[in-house]
């Protein structure tokens, strides 16, 4: 079943290749959506796809690339809006 997840990632996640890591994992998983840096130092991810695939994706995001340090993830599950055709970095 397709769902949308809105994820806010907190920690040392800017300037460490985090968005590119997320982008590559999403592309490999066939997910659609985007990742972007926020002004408060967090990273926002909006992703749509199969819930079980997104749950696996979230496990990878929690670890992140080697220089990153994820301290918290806030996830809200929503209905998919089917507005994305691919995954992009904003």
List the one residue out of 53, 31, 35 whose CA is nearest residue 43: 35
Residue with tokens 């998919």: 80
d(CA 13, CA 77): 22
d(CA 55, CA 61): 10
Residue 42 annotated among the catalytic residues of the structure = no
User: Exactly one of 4, 24, 37, 51 is catalytic; which is it?
Assistant: 37
Residue 37 annotated among the catalytic residues of the structure = yes
φ and ψ of 36, to 5 deg: -155, 150
Q: Which residues are catalytic?
A: 19, 37
């Amino acid at each position: 079943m397709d769902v949308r997840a809105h994820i806010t990632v907190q920690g040392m996640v800017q300037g460490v290749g985090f968005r590119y890591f997320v982008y590559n994992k999403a592309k490999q998983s066939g997910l659609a959506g985007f990742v972007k840096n926020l002004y408060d130092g967090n990273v926002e991810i909006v992703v749509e796809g199969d819930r079980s695939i997104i749950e696996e994706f979230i496990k990878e995001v929690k670890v992140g690339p080697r220089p990153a340090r994820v301290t918290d993830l806030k996830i809200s599950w929503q209905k998919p809006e089917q507005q994305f055709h691919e995954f992009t970095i904003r």
